[in-house]
């Protein structure tokens, strides 16, 4: 073996090759020194604010307000900056302007109060507020957030001295006066409010379920895309739409069924351009016109049968799923008007099954296949849907580990004894983290290749009993056809009860390499029924469930209108929110989303959490180590500086 073939020499060669690539970005010692100094400084900045939300379910208005006020962070910061300078009414006006700049400016104009003096005052307040928030970031980071058109002017306003006797103070006042005089104040106000919101929250974590129930998931995704620093842990409602866009007819049928059931057809037809005309015509021609029945009821009947037929076909392709008990079309007895489920005959709520062939219950009729052919073309051709789903794949995952927190939507499947459940697929036994990694890869494969196995898994992730995104046996069939609610009970994975035990929660965290008092699981998916005494903080604070019911349908049963989690340099706080009174109330009466209560999860620190204490700090230290090695290579002559 020659010297160059030894492992040590090979490693050194590979390292030198990496440093050669790094030198293209930093061609001189001076450029590398500058970057190291910059990175060392960043490590000593306070960490940015992280905002955790979950189970938005298309509720655009409530999400927009929570997003705009950053779960109260904006109001807290406004009071911290201006408490000794402004009265409460002025601070409320400033907050509302930050939340809804377009609407607030329009209202001020309508009232005749959009006057130069008011514009000048608000520009001064917004500039001072933005400057305070910008102190937590490097100047280069702030510059990246500035609007292209006004970036230079706003940069000047943010980084000049405001001493009363300073020439810079006069310079600052002259800039603001000029903005107002030339009629650009409204534009600048809008730009500053966008900047403030970006500075107030560094990153948004969406712990699943953007889609379904509410009417405007598409608009929520538009907001998230425009924000930029966002990650999404996929929920089972999200993965249905992802599977539909990837080409799964079963996911398409499920997405349509949900929109029909919750009367949110606009998101399909207006937002994504997916016409239901062929389905509606088929339903009209095929299903009974019941006295007083609405047309949408016939459409729901039609898509239900299509969905259950496609579902049974998928289950037949995957006996390893163990879902044969969900194949119930063949268990229907039309003469007796019953369906046999788990050995019991349940009365049917309808016997209107004109396309059901008892000898081949899972086979689509000719008309049903034509409907699915049309829907398949519409889903896969929707550019806007594909743009949204591409964002979910590029910025999302089944789970995320971030700053000592494990984020995932549903569950880690567990056995009744607390051990990780084994799932078999492609001949592999999977459990715990390896299982979640597998389904993450399978979802990406569905989007990349569209093969049948991967597409079927997208549907399984929606409702499979061992799906980490669902974690329960869904009784969609029973809810559609059996009026007796006793048939609707949906058994859940043991995870949801067992992880209330601190030992089990600690075992789940350890599976992902997380230990210690500041390690937390953050889940959504299961609404916390606070009105019944349930709590979102479980397992001695190791598990945080932040689905408090954004969806309006849950408000009465949960007693609140959603939880959000805030992590910043001071610690970790869980907020429970009351229902939002609406944008009009916010504009005319400065009515905010009020927190029903706030719970401190981690002790609020006297010394702020720094970037050095975060995952980003780890990445920065690794970068500094690489640059230090590059500097050594320059000094020792292994690499030559360029550009001198």
- Specify the range with the lowest mean pLDDT, choosing from 12-21, 174-183, 280-289: 12-21
Query: Where does residue 562 rank: exposed (0-12), middle (13-18), buried (19+ CB within 10 A)?
Result: buried
Task: Give a yes or no: residue 399 inside a domain.
Answer: yes
Exposure of 38 in the CB half-sphere (CA atoms within 13 A)? 13
In 209-353, DSSP assigns E strands to 230-233, 332-333, 338-341, 344-347
Q: Give the confidence band of 5 by pLDDT, cuts at 50, 70, 90.
A: very low
Task: Give a yes or no: residue 537 inside a domain.
Answer: no
d(CA 348, CA 484): 9
pLDDT score at 241: 98
Tally the domains of the chain: 2
d(CA 493, CA 488): 16
Residue 132: pLDDT over 80: yes
d(CA 213, CA 207): 17
Output b/e per residue, 52-84; b: 16+ Cβ within 10 A.
bbbbbbbbbbbbbbbbbbbbbbbbebbeebbee
Read off the pLDDT of residues 442-456 as tens digits, 9 standing for 90 and up: 999 999 999 999 999
Q: Which domain holds residue 243?
A: 217-481
Q: Give the confidence band of 157 by pLDDT, cuts at 50, 70, 90.
A: confident
- Specify the range with the lowest mean pLDDT, choosing from 191-195, 397-401, 585-589: 585-589
d(CA 151, CA 138): 15
pLDDT score at 558: 47
- Comparison of pLDDT for 591 and 406, the residue scoring more: 406
Domain boundary among 463, 481, 499: 481
Q: Report the 10 Å Cβ neighbour count for 444.
A: 15
30's CB contacts (< 8 A; 6+ apart) are none
Q: Report the 10 Å Cβ neighbour count for 545.
A: 24
Read off the pLDDT of residues 596-624 as tens digits, 9 standing for 90 and up: 456 777 765 667 889 999 999 999 999 99
Task: Give a yes or no: residue 456 inside a domain.
Answer: yes
Q: Give the confidence band of 339 by pLDDT, cuts at 50, 70, 90.
A: very high
Bridge partner residues of 230 (DSSP): 204
Residue 124: pLDDT over 70: yes
Tokens for 365, please give them.
């009729």
pLDDT score at 482: 94
Mean of pLDDT values over 237-242: 97
Q: Check whether residue 474 and residue 617 sit in a common domain.
A: no
Bridge partner residues of 52 (DSSP): 205, 565
DSSP SS3 for 556: helix
Mean of pLDDT values over 175-186: 90
In 194-348, DSSP assigns E strands to 203-206, 230-233, 332-333, 338-341, 344-347
Task: Give a yes or no: residue 347 inside a domain.
Answer: yes
Output b/e per residue, 13-36; b: 16+ Cβ within 10 A.
eeeeeebeebbeebbeeebbeebb
Task: Give a yes or no: residue 107 inside a domain.
Answer: no
pLDDT score at 556: 55
Q: Give the confidence band of 626 by pLDDT, cuts at 50, 70, 90.
A: very high
- Comparison of pLDDT for 552 and 2, the residue scoring more: 552
**Element of type H or E holding 178:** helix 167-181
Domain boundary among 432, 449, 481: 481
Tokens for 223, please give them.
């907001």
Q: Give the confidence band of 363 by pLDDT, cuts at 50, 70, 90.
A: very high
The closest of 119, 135, 122 to 200, measured between CA atoms, is 135
**What is the average pLDDT score of the chain?**
88
Q: Check whether residue 477 and residue 621 sit in a common domain.
A: no
Task: Give a yes or no: residue 577 inside a domain.
Answer: no
Q: Give the confidence band of 415 by pLDDT, cuts at 50, 70, 90.
A: very high
Q: Give the confidence band of 171 by pLDDT, cuts at 50, 70, 90.
A: confident
Tokens for 528, please give them.
């916390």
Bridge partner residues of 400 (DSSP): 407
Task: Give a yes or no: residue 520 inside a domain.
Answer: no
Read off the pLDDT of residues 250-268 as tens digits, 9 standing for 90 and up: 999 999 999 999 999 999 9
pLDDT score at 192: 92
Read off the pLDDT of residues 187-238 as tens digits, 9 standing for 90 and up: 999 999 999 998 888 999 999 999 998 889 999 999 999 987 899 999 999 9
**In the block, residue with structure tokens 């999400």:** 63
- Specify the range with the lowest mean pLDDT, choosing from 41-50, 287-296, 311-320, 334-343: 287-296
Bridge partner residues of 568 (DSSP): 571
pTM (whole model) above 0.75: yes
pLDDT score at 553: 56
Domain boundary among 481, 513, 544: 481
CA distances from 85 to 81, 125, 192, 264, 460 (A): 8, 10, 20, 47, 57
Q: Give the neighbor-by-neighbor strand order of the sheet with 399-402.
A: 399-402, 405-408, 520-523, 543-545, 537-538
Please say whether the dihedral angle defined by the alpha carbons of residues 457, 462, 468 and 472, taken in this order, is positive or negative. Answer: negative
Task: Give a yes or no: residue 41 inside a domain.
Answer: yes
């Amino acid at each position: 073996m020659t010297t160059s073939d030894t492992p040590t020499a090979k490693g050194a060669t590979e390292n030198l090759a990496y440093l050669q690539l790094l030198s293209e970005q930093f061609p001189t010692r001076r450029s590398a020194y500058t970057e190291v100094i910059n990175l060392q400084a960043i490590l000593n900045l306070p960490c940015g604010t992280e905002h955790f939300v979950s189970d938005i379910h298309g509720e655009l208005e409530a999400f927009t307000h929570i997003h705009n006020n950053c779960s109260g962070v904006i109001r807290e910061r406004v009071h911290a900056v201006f408490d000794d300078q402004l009265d409460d009414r002025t601070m409320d006006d400033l907050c509302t302007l930050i939340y809804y700049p377009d609407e607030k400016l329009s209202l001020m104009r309508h009232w005749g109060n959009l006057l130069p003096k008011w514009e000048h005052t608000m520009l001064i307040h917004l500039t001072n507020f933005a400057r305070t928030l910008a102190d937590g970031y490097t100047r280069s980071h702030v510059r990246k957030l500035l609007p292209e058109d006004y970036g230079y002017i706003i940069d000047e306003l943010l980084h000049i001295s405001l001493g009363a006797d300073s020439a810079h103070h006069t310079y600052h006042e002259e800039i603001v006066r000029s903005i107002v005089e030339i009629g650009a104040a409204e534009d600048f106000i809008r730009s500053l409010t966008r900047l403030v919101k970006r500075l107030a929250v560094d990153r948004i974590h969406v712990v699943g379920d953007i889609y379904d129930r509410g009417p405007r998931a598409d608009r929520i995704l538009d907001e998230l895309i425009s924000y930029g620093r966002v990650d999404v842990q996929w929920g089972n409602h999200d993965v249905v739409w992802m599977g539909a866009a990837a080409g799964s007819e079963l996911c398409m049928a499920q997405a349509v069924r949900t929109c029909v059931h919750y009367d949110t057809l606009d998101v399909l037809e207006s937002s994504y351009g997916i016409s239901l005309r062929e389905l509606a015509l088929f339903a009209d021609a095929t299903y009974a016109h019941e006295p007083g029945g609405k047309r949408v009821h016939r459409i729901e009947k039609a898509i239900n049968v299509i969905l259950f037929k496609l579902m049974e076909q998928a289950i037949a392709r995957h006996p390893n799923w163990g879902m044969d008990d969900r194949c119930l079309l063949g268990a229907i007895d039309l003469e007796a008007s019953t369906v046999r489920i788990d050995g019991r005959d349940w009365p049917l709520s309808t016997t209107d099954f004109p396309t059901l062939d008892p000898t081949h219950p899972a086979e689509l009729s000719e008309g049903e296949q034509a409907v699915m052919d049309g829907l398949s073309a519409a889903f896969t051709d929707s550019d806007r849907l594909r743009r949204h789903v591409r964002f979910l794949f590029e910025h999302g995952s089944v789970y995320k580990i971030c700053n000592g927190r494990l984020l995932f939507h549903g569950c880690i499947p567990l056995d009744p004894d607390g051990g990780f459940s084994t799932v078999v697929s492609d001949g592999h036994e999977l459990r715990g983290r390896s299982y979640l990694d597998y389904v993450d890869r399978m979802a990406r494969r569905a989007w990349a290749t569209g093969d049948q196995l991967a597409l079927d898994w997208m549907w399984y992730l929606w409702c499979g009993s061992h799906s980490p995104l669902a974690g329960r046996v869904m009784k969609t069939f029973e809810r559609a056809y059996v009026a007796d609610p006793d048939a609707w009970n949906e058994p859940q994975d043991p995870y949801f009860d067992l992880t209330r035990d601190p030992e089990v929660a600690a075992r789940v965290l350890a599976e992902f390499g997380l230990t210690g008092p500041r390690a937390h699981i953050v889940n959504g998916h299961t609404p916390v029924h606070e009105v019944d005494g349930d709590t979102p903080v479980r397992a001695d604070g190791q598990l945080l469930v932040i689905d408090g019911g954004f969806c309006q349908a849950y408000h009465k049963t949960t007693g609140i209108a959603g939880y959000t989690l805030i992590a910043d340099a001071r610690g970790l706080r869980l907020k429970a929110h009351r229902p939002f009174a609406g944008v009009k109330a916010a504009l005319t009466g400065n009515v905010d989303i009020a927190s029903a209560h706030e719970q401190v999860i981690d002790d609020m620190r006297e010394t702020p959490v720094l970037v050095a204490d975060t995952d980003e700090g780890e990445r920065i230290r690794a970068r500094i180590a690489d640059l230090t090695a590059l500097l050594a290579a320059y000094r020792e002559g292994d690499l030559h500086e360029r550009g001198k």
